[in-house]
Amino acid sequence: MIDYIKGTIAELNPAYAVLDNHGMGYMMNISLSTYDVLNRVGQGEIAMLYVYEAIREDAHLLYGFATKRERESFLLLISVSGVGPNIARMVLSSMSVDEFSQAIASNNVAMFKSVKGVGGKTAQRIIVDLKDKIKPTDNTLLQQTGHSVGEAYDEALAALVMLGFTQQASQKALKSLFSKNSALSVEEAIKQALKMM
Protein backbone atom coordinates (compact mmCIF):
# COMPACT_ATOMS: atom_id res chain seq x y z
CA MET A 1 0.00 0.00 0.00
CA ILE A 2 1.19 3.54 -0.80
CA ASP A 3 1.34 5.71 2.33
CA TYR A 4 2.38 8.98 0.68
CA ILE A 5 3.80 10.39 -2.54
CA LYS A 6 6.30 13.23 -2.60
CA GLY A 7 7.08 15.01 -5.84
CA THR A 8 6.83 18.14 -7.96
CA ILE A 9 3.35 19.57 -8.50
CA ALA A 10 3.02 19.01 -12.25
CA GLU A 11 -0.69 19.79 -12.57
CA LEU A 12 -3.21 21.22 -10.14
CA ASN A 13 -6.91 22.01 -10.20
CA PRO A 14 -9.66 21.86 -7.54
CA ALA A 15 -10.55 18.24 -8.43
CA TYR A 16 -7.14 16.58 -8.74
CA ALA A 17 -3.39 17.04 -8.54
CA VAL A 18 -0.57 15.36 -10.42
CA LEU A 19 2.70 14.86 -8.54
CA ASP A 20 5.77 14.04 -10.63
CA ASN A 21 7.96 11.59 -8.73
CA HIS A 22 11.17 10.74 -10.67
CA GLY A 23 9.47 11.05 -14.05
CA MET A 24 6.26 9.24 -13.09
CA GLY A 25 3.11 11.34 -12.71
CA TYR A 26 0.66 10.26 -10.02
CA MET A 27 -2.84 11.68 -10.48
CA MET A 28 -4.73 11.98 -7.19
CA ASN A 29 -8.28 13.10 -6.49
CA ILE A 30 -8.20 15.83 -3.84
CA SER A 31 -10.53 17.88 -1.66
CA LEU A 32 -10.74 21.67 -1.83
CA SER A 33 -8.82 21.99 1.45
CA THR A 34 -5.92 19.97 0.01
CA TYR A 35 -6.15 22.07 -3.16
CA ASP A 36 -5.79 25.24 -1.04
CA VAL A 37 -2.65 23.83 0.62
CA LEU A 38 -1.08 22.81 -2.72
CA ASN A 39 -2.06 26.11 -4.33
CA ARG A 40 -0.12 27.97 -1.62
CA VAL A 41 2.90 25.72 -2.26
CA GLY A 42 2.68 26.51 -5.99
CA GLN A 43 2.95 24.57 -9.24
CA GLY A 44 6.46 23.30 -9.98
CA GLU A 45 7.28 23.08 -6.25
CA ILE A 46 7.79 19.93 -4.16
CA ALA A 47 4.79 18.69 -2.16
CA MET A 48 3.76 15.55 -0.31
CA LEU A 49 0.32 13.98 -0.18
CA TYR A 50 -0.89 11.13 2.02
CA VAL A 51 -2.60 8.54 -0.16
CA TYR A 52 -5.66 6.30 -0.13
CA GLU A 53 -5.84 3.71 -2.92
CA ALA A 54 -9.26 2.65 -4.23
CA ILE A 55 -8.79 -0.51 -6.26
CA ARG A 56 -11.87 -1.54 -8.21
CA GLU A 57 -12.46 -3.92 -11.11
CA ASP A 58 -12.77 -1.05 -13.58
CA ALA A 59 -10.32 1.47 -12.11
CA HIS A 60 -7.34 2.03 -9.81
CA LEU A 61 -7.87 5.44 -8.19
CA LEU A 62 -5.67 7.46 -5.86
CA TYR A 63 -6.94 10.04 -3.36
CA GLY A 64 -4.46 12.55 -1.95
CA PHE A 65 -4.60 14.42 1.37
CA ALA A 66 -2.49 17.28 2.70
CA THR A 67 -2.62 15.88 6.27
CA LYS A 68 -2.95 12.51 7.96
CA ARG A 69 -5.96 13.85 9.87
CA GLU A 70 -7.78 14.56 6.62
CA ARG A 71 -7.04 11.05 5.36
CA GLU A 72 -8.25 9.55 8.66
CA SER A 73 -11.50 11.54 8.38
CA PHE A 74 -11.91 10.31 4.79
CA LEU A 75 -11.41 6.68 5.90
CA LEU A 76 -14.00 7.14 8.67
CA LEU A 77 -16.48 8.57 6.18
CA ILE A 78 -16.11 5.76 3.62
CA SER A 79 -16.61 3.21 6.43
CA VAL A 80 -20.22 4.49 6.69
CA SER A 81 -22.72 2.50 4.62
CA GLY A 82 -23.84 4.53 1.60
CA VAL A 83 -20.85 6.91 1.65
CA GLY A 84 -18.37 6.36 -1.17
CA PRO A 85 -15.08 8.12 -1.89
CA ASN A 86 -16.71 10.88 -3.95
CA ILE A 87 -19.23 11.82 -1.25
CA ALA A 88 -16.45 11.66 1.39
CA ARG A 89 -14.37 14.03 -0.73
CA MET A 90 -17.36 16.39 -1.09
CA VAL A 91 -17.82 16.42 2.70
CA LEU A 92 -14.14 17.26 3.25
CA SER A 93 -14.31 19.92 0.54
CA SER A 94 -17.29 21.52 2.29
CA MET A 95 -15.81 21.64 5.80
CA SER A 96 -12.45 21.48 7.54
CA VAL A 97 -11.40 18.39 9.50
CA ASP A 98 -12.09 20.26 12.76
CA GLU A 99 -15.55 21.34 11.54
CA PHE A 100 -16.24 17.72 10.51
CA SER A 101 -15.34 16.48 14.02
CA GLN A 102 -17.40 19.24 15.62
CA ALA A 103 -20.44 18.50 13.40
CA ILE A 104 -20.39 14.86 14.54
CA ALA A 105 -19.82 15.74 18.21
CA SER A 106 -22.70 18.25 18.17
CA ASN A 107 -25.13 16.07 16.10
CA ASN A 108 -25.23 18.75 13.39
CA VAL A 109 -27.31 16.93 10.75
CA ALA A 110 -27.95 20.19 8.86
CA MET A 111 -24.23 20.70 8.23
CA PHE A 112 -23.94 17.31 6.51
CA LYS A 113 -27.22 17.80 4.63
CA SER A 114 -25.81 21.01 3.15
CA VAL A 115 -23.20 18.90 1.28
CA LYS A 116 -24.17 18.04 -2.30
CA GLY A 117 -25.13 14.35 -2.53
CA VAL A 118 -25.81 13.90 1.20
CA GLY A 119 -29.47 13.44 2.15
CA GLY A 120 -31.08 13.41 5.57
CA LYS A 121 -30.74 9.66 6.14
CA THR A 122 -27.08 9.60 5.09
CA ALA A 123 -26.33 12.63 7.29
CA GLN A 124 -27.88 10.88 10.30
CA ARG A 125 -26.06 7.63 9.51
CA ILE A 126 -22.69 9.47 9.36
CA ILE A 127 -23.29 10.95 12.82
CA VAL A 128 -24.58 7.71 14.39
CA ASP A 129 -21.80 5.55 12.91
CA LEU A 130 -18.94 7.93 13.72
CA LYS A 131 -20.11 9.39 17.05
CA ASP A 132 -18.08 6.88 19.09
CA LYS A 133 -15.05 7.08 16.79
CA ILE A 134 -14.56 10.84 17.11
CA LYS A 135 -14.13 12.11 20.64
CA PRO A 136 -15.34 15.67 21.33
CA THR A 137 -12.63 16.02 23.99
CA ASP A 138 -9.94 15.62 21.31
CA ASN A 139 -11.69 18.24 19.20
CA THR A 140 -11.76 20.70 22.12
CA LEU A 141 -8.02 20.27 22.50
CA LEU A 142 -7.52 20.88 18.77
CA GLN A 143 -9.53 24.08 18.93
CA GLN A 144 -7.47 25.31 21.87
CA THR A 145 -4.06 24.42 20.49
CA GLY A 146 -4.38 24.73 16.70
CA HIS A 147 -3.91 22.53 13.64
CA SER A 148 -0.21 21.58 13.80
CA VAL A 149 -0.42 20.71 17.51
CA GLY A 150 -3.49 18.60 16.69
CA GLU A 151 -1.35 16.53 14.34
CA ALA A 152 1.44 16.14 16.93
CA TYR A 153 -1.16 15.12 19.51
CA ASP A 154 -2.76 12.58 17.11
CA GLU A 155 0.59 11.00 16.20
CA ALA A 156 1.73 10.80 19.82
CA LEU A 157 -1.62 9.27 20.84
CA ALA A 158 -1.42 6.65 18.07
CA ALA A 159 2.14 5.75 19.10
CA LEU A 160 1.22 5.34 22.78
CA VAL A 161 -1.77 3.13 21.94
CA MET A 162 0.47 0.99 19.68
CA LEU A 163 2.89 0.65 22.61
CA GLY A 164 0.08 -0.94 24.60
CA PHE A 165 -1.25 1.94 26.73
CA THR A 166 -5.01 2.53 26.88
CA GLN A 167 -6.48 5.34 24.79
CA GLN A 168 -8.00 6.98 27.88
CA ALA A 169 -4.73 7.06 29.87
CA SER A 170 -2.78 8.25 26.81
CA GLN A 171 -5.26 11.07 26.11
CA LYS A 172 -5.14 12.23 29.74
CA ALA A 173 -1.32 12.38 29.75
CA LEU A 174 -1.07 14.13 26.36
CA LYS A 175 -3.75 16.72 27.13
CA SER A 176 -1.91 17.63 30.30
CA LEU A 177 1.40 17.95 28.41
CA PHE A 178 0.05 19.96 25.47
CA SER A 179 -1.90 22.33 27.73
CA LYS A 180 1.41 23.22 29.45
CA ASN A 181 3.51 23.35 26.25
CA SER A 182 1.74 23.57 22.89
CA ALA A 183 5.07 23.53 21.00
CA LEU A 184 5.93 19.92 21.95
CA SER A 185 7.23 17.70 19.17
CA VAL A 186 5.76 14.21 18.69
CA GLU A 187 8.92 12.56 20.06
CA GLU A 188 9.11 14.82 23.12
CA ALA A 189 5.40 14.33 23.86
CA ILE A 190 5.81 10.53 23.74
CA LYS A 191 8.91 10.61 25.97
CA GLN A 192 7.24 12.81 28.58
CA ALA A 193 3.98 10.85 28.46
CA LEU A 194 5.85 7.58 29.06
CA LYS A 195 7.25 9.06 32.30
CA MET A 196 3.70 9.88 33.42
CA MET A 197 2.13 6.49 32.66
* pLDDT tops 90 at residue 151: no
CATH code at 136-196: 1.10.8.10
Query: Which pLDDT score is estimated for 139?
Result: 44
For the beta carbon of residue 183, count every other beta carbon within 10 angstroms: 10
DSSP 8-state assignment for residue 57: S
Query: Which pLDDT score is estimated for 64?
Result: 97
Which CATH entry fits the domain spanning 68-130: 1.10.1040.10, 2.60.40.10, 3.20.20.10, 1.10.150.20? 1.10.150.20
Higher pLDDT, 142 or 42: 42
Task: Provide the total of helices (H) and of strands (E) in the chain, helices listed first.
Answer: 10, 5
pTM, to two decimals: 0.69
Q: Angle, to 10 degrees, between the axis of helix 32-41 and the axis of helix 85-94?
A: 60
pLDDT in tens, 10-65: 999 999 999 999 999 999 999 998 998 999 999 999 999 999 999 889 989 999 99
pLDDT in tens, 58-72: 989 999 999 999 999
Q: Where are the domains of the chain?
A: 4-65, 68-130, 136-196
Question: What's the CATH fold of domain 4-65?
Answer: OB fold (Dihydrolipoamide Acetyltransferase, E2P) (2.40.50)
